[in-house]
Structure 1
Amino acid sequence: MMQPIQKILPLLFTVTALALSVQQAVASDNEEFMPLSGDDTQYMIKFKPGSTIKALGPEADSYLSAGERKQKFSRKGAMALLRQAQVQEANHLDAFGVSVAKLNAQQLQALKNNPMVDYVEEDPKRYLLAESVPYGITMVQAPQVSDAMTSNIKACVIDTGYNYGHPDLPGSGVTGYAFSGHGSWSTDGNGHGTHVAGTIAAIGGNNIGVVGVNRSAKLGLHIVKIFNDSGKWTTASNLIQAIQSCKNAGASVVNMSLGGSSSSTTESNAMTNFYNGGMLLVAAAGNAGTSAFSYPASYSAVMSVAAVNSSKVRASFSQYNSQVEISGPGVSVNSTYKNSTYASLSGTSMASPHVAGVAALVWSQHRTCSAAKIRAALNATAEDRGTAGRDTQYGWGIVRAKAAVDYLNVNRC
């Protein structure tokens, strides 16, 4: 007998949301980089408009360039004013009427007291904003496997949307679909879906933010916005439609960081049909911290993913039962977030995309394999945790990309 269609909620157990800001330095076209050295601090000296020209005396106008007249700034005049305080300039920002120099305390005071000077401020240092590799990406061995061939495969994310235009997420090769009333798939006012997508495919090598499992921006992505920005529940029937959208878009791997407590015969049959038709379905095991089953993760056609922390220990919130099949990092996972920011979130919602991302990465190197073969390889090569072999806490263990690729290189499909 068919059971009632359940409400499905996004699985999100938030610990911390860390928005990272980007610092920018603005310079004129003629600015030159001057390395800092010695004990003196470097400053920017802003001269009052026309003061550096006035410092040259009454004959100055006869040899001023057109640019100097327009900008009301003369390097020679600025140098003359600096010499009065025994200062050697390091650089000039002509368009802004600013000179740059290292100053000791006495020189600093002298310039501050000079009526020709508007203000003096410290020249703040700026640093390369290097990207970080979240611990989970290393744990699942993603950096050990080339993702150069991921353009031959597509992953689907069924969630709250996608922050299209996020500087750390792919902008090309991304398609999507949004359910009625939810706005565009390319927007995400919630952040959950963007976080999940970042774990799968955040861009590497761009010196910002984070790195995903597939970091070359070559992986195809299809986004289905099944939740609105408030993360309101959806239904099993909608989820079936969402996976059909993934299939129609050519996706081979589907991530579902969502779930509910009730099963459905229709949904179960649909999952089996999608899986038998060649799609690998991955879902979050649930965040109740109990042995209760969560769906769709607990259908046999779906890989149920438990969460572990950075010490490879099962997270206290991660559900444990006979359907848990594999594990992934899910505690304090740093990834892309709404409004082009970043956040550290926890939940089996965060563990699931690690497995989905690894599945796409491994499958991209062995495209002749079936979904069942990829699934078997991931399970056979997972890092065993807890009781030897499969157990209710970790399933077969923590997913490992390099181990799975090596396994298929030997055993083939």
Structure 2
Amino acid sequence: MIQRSNRASNKILSLCLTAAAASILCSSAMAAAPDTTRVIVAFKPGAKAAIKGVVAAAKGSVKHEIFGMNAMAIEVPRTALAGLENNPNVEYVEEDVIRKPFALTTPSTGTPYASGQLVPYGIKLVQADQLPDTNAGNRKVCIIDSGVDFTHEDLKDNGANVTGEYDSGTGWWNTDETHHGTHVFGTIAGVNNSGVGVVGVNPNKKLKLHIVKVFGANGAWTYSSTLASAANKCGAANANIITMSLGGGRASMTEQKAFDSLQTKGVLSIAAAGNDGNTVVSYPAGYASVMMVAALDENKNWATFSQYNSKVEIAGPGVSVLSTVPMGVGQDPVLSVGTTTYAPTAMEGSPVTTATAPLADFGIGDTVNTAVSGKVCLIQRGTVDFATKVTNCQNSGGVGAVVYNNVAGPLAGTLGTTVTNIPSVGASDTEGAAMKAQLGQSATVGVKASNYAYFDGTSMATPHVSAVAALVWSYFPTCTGSQIRTSLDNSALDLGTAGRDTKYGYGLVQAKAAYDRIASLGCGK
């Protein structure tokens, strides 16, 4: 039922721009032609037509008109920048910076969730199981991401509570080609339905959600201009909370103005710290009007990929988080030998199929050996890459492959661009040692299609915090977004260095503790 994935990456782009206007000349090599650059132009009220005329005269083009602001993203020859900056109708010109996406369970006992589901560890860690989402219908969370597969068996019952936007560039909100947004949605509102999937923080089909899709099928990144528009659309949809599992390493004045304005209107914006494990400040999480979320694991230890700095405000579960992915795109690895069932990881690139045959020792898999023909190959990690090991097993007549680790811990491998016809999975060093004693026994190895997956990342921590914010706020709807933010900070479970620190911020978000604090002390205490 589950797929383990590398964390949803938010590798910060090393763009050459600085805040100086002249530095815009280095902008957006990923998207613009070598002699052009993509920038945001903010203009005075009523000057839109005039600016469009200037852009056209410079042989440039308008790329995006920012919703709710007197600003637009344009692509123009670099030689036109000086004229734009000196135009009396222009307030400022800045780079249109890149924004990118930044993914352990127990069976439900029937209380408080229906039986036959898995309860991701993060649900209990943030105390969502201790605070019913009875009042969640008075809150709305806006998810800015890659859309959501709203045909999903564990999400579709949210029904009319979910709305979204159509975008000519990314398509309809209710499809998700990159899988990221569906995973985020499941953490927030995976449905409490007997025998199906997982549960989210707000699982009882009450919470309102609005989806703005900024990541489409053809790219894993978007621009700050698009994000500013998306945030303003969330505001126009009357969202109380905006959740953003995305970011990039440079600030944007336009973006900041959008989030600052939304804060003054009572909206609480929450975003991921980033996954590069360094001290870089990601944006939009780095703005004062946005809450920055770090990631920790099931043992409440800081996730080593989580970026750490003075802007980190709060932490949420972000390692091996089980949630929904578009129907059928997840992978469920299976491995059993004799009467023993193991917990493998899917080899990335393995075909979705299973095989059963006697288990045979294939050494380190560096050469073809027809002695394993018709058998499942047990292969130790080392010397040659995983693709070569599995290919050699296949060329030897093997019907399946198990690669086990040569160091402590599970093995998460990839076949890269190599295409194989036999199923392959990874196993830990201890599992490999156990299987060495089971050679000759019948083994079943394979990868099955699934509707769920394990992801790592601050992308996974962020929806935990956003969903808890909605849950707690639903009990105290007269509180402002800023007051809820303060209450979440003050009630967080302090971890790491005493007090606020650079890795955990104020600590792990806690739903019941925040509720108790507000009930006792009032909003924003």
The alignment's TM-score, normalised by the length of structure 1, stands at: 0.71
Whether the 8 Å contact between 1:168 and 1:202 is mirrored in structure 2 is yes
Q: Distance in 1 between matches of 2:94 and 2:311?
A: 20
1:344 match: secondary structure? strand
Residue 380 (structure 1) aligns with: 490
2:159 match: secondary structure? coil
How big is the shift at 1:265?
1.4
Q: Distance in 2 between matches of 1:3 and 1:399?
A: 35
2:293 match: secondary structure? strand
Q: Distance in 1 between matches of 2:319 and 2:290?
A: 22
1:221 match: secondary structure? strand
For the pair 1:191 / 2:282, whether they are aligned, the reply is no
Q: How does 1:221-236 map to 2 (within 5 A)?
A: 221-236=209-224
How big is the shift at 1:230?
4.5
Q: How does 1:394-409 map to 2 (within 5 A)?
A: 394-409=504-519
How big is the shift at 1:277?
1.0
CA shift digits 1:290-345 (9 cap, x unpaired): 00110001111100000000010010100000000000000000001112611110
How big is the shift at 1:411?
1.2
Amino acid at match of 2:138: N
For the pair 1:6 / 2:116, whether they are aligned, the reply is no
Q: CA 1:134 to 1:230, structure 2 compared with 1: closer, same or farther past 3 Å?
A: farther
For the pair 1:150 / 2:241, whether they are aligned, the reply is no
For the pair 1:206 / 2:194, whether they are aligned, the reply is yes
Q: How does 1:17-96 map to 2 (within 5 A)?
A: none
How big is the shift at 1:171?
2.4
Whether the 8 Å contact between 2:273 and 2:458 is mirrored in structure 1 is yes
Q: Distance in 1 between matches of 2:193 and 2:184?
A: 19
For the pair 1:269 / 2:379, whether they are aligned, the reply is no
Amino acid at match of 1:277: K
Q: Distance in 2 between matches of 1:353 and 1:385?
A: 20
2:232 match: secondary structure? helix
How big is the shift at 1:232?
2.5
* Residue segments in structure 2 that go unaligned for 5+ positions in a row: 1-18, 20-92, 106-113, 329-450
Pick the aligned partner of 2:227 from 239, 249, 261.
Answer: 239
Whether the 8 Å contact between 1:10 and 1:231 is mirrored in structure 2 is no
Q: Distance in 1 between matches of 2:217 and 2:210?
A: 18
Amino acid at match of 1:270: A
For the pair 1:346 / 2:456, whether they are aligned, the reply is yes
- For the aligned residues, what is the CA RMSD? 1.7
Q: Distance in 2 between matches of 1:372 and 1:225?
A: 26
CA shift digits 1:341-399 (9 cap, x unpaired): 11110000000000000000000000000011100000000000111000000000000
For the pair 1:171 / 2:281, whether they are aligned, the reply is no
Say which one has the larger Rg: 1
Q: Distance in 1 between matches of 2:179 and 2:136?
A: 25
Q: Distance in 1 between matches of 2:115 and 2:316?
A: 28
Q: Distance in 2 between matches of 1:249 and 1:330?
A: 28
How big is the shift at 1:206?
2.8
CA shift digits 1:33-52 (9 cap, x unpaired): xxxxxxxxxxxxxxxxxxxx
CA shift digits 1:55-111 (9 cap, x unpaired): xxxxxxxxxxxxxxxxxxxxxxxxxxxxxxxxxxxxxxxxxxxxxxxxxxxxxxxxx
1:237 match: secondary structure? helix
Amino acid at match of 1:375: R
1:224 match: secondary structure? strand
Q: Distance in 1 between matches of 2:116 and 2:177?
A: 27
Q: Distance in 1 between matches of 2:472 and 2:309?
A: 27
Residue 95 (structure 1) aligns with: none
How big is the shift at 1:164?
0.8
Whether the 8 Å contact between 1:262 and 1:294 is mirrored in structure 2 is yes
Q: Distance in 2 between matches of 1:353 and 1:249?
A: 19
The alignment's TM-score, normalised by the length of structure 2, stands at: 0.56
Q: State the percentage of identical aligned residues.
A: 50
* Residue segments in structure 1 that go unaligned for 5+ positions in a row: 19-127
Q: Distance in 2 between matches of 1:129 and 1:372?
A: 37
How big is the shift at 1:231?
4.3
Q: Distance in 1 between matches of 2:115 and 2:130?
A: 24
2:137 match: secondary structure? helix
CA shift digits 1:99-143 (9 cap, x unpaired): xxxxxxxxxxxxxxxxxxxxxxxxxxxxx9810110001000001
Q: Say which structure is richer in strand.
A: 2
Whether the 8 Å contact between 1:3 and 1:263 is mirrored in structure 2 is no
Q: How does 1:284-303 map to 2 (within 5 A)?
A: 284-303=272-291
Q: CA 1:398 to 1:231, structure 2 compared with 1: closer, same or farther past 3 Å?
A: farther
2:196 match: secondary structure? coil
Whether the 8 Å contact between 1:9 and 1:231 is mirrored in structure 2 is no
Whether the 8 Å contact between 1:327 and 1:355 is mirrored in structure 2 is yes
Q: Distance in 2 between matches of 1:224 and 1:237?
A: 14
CA shift digits 1:211-237 (9 cap, x unpaired): 000010110010011110244311111
Pick the aligned partner of 2:499 from 386, 389, 396.
Answer: 389
Q: How does 1:91-170 map to 2 (within 5 A)?
A: 130-169=116-155, 170=158
Size of the aligned set, in residue pairs, is 300
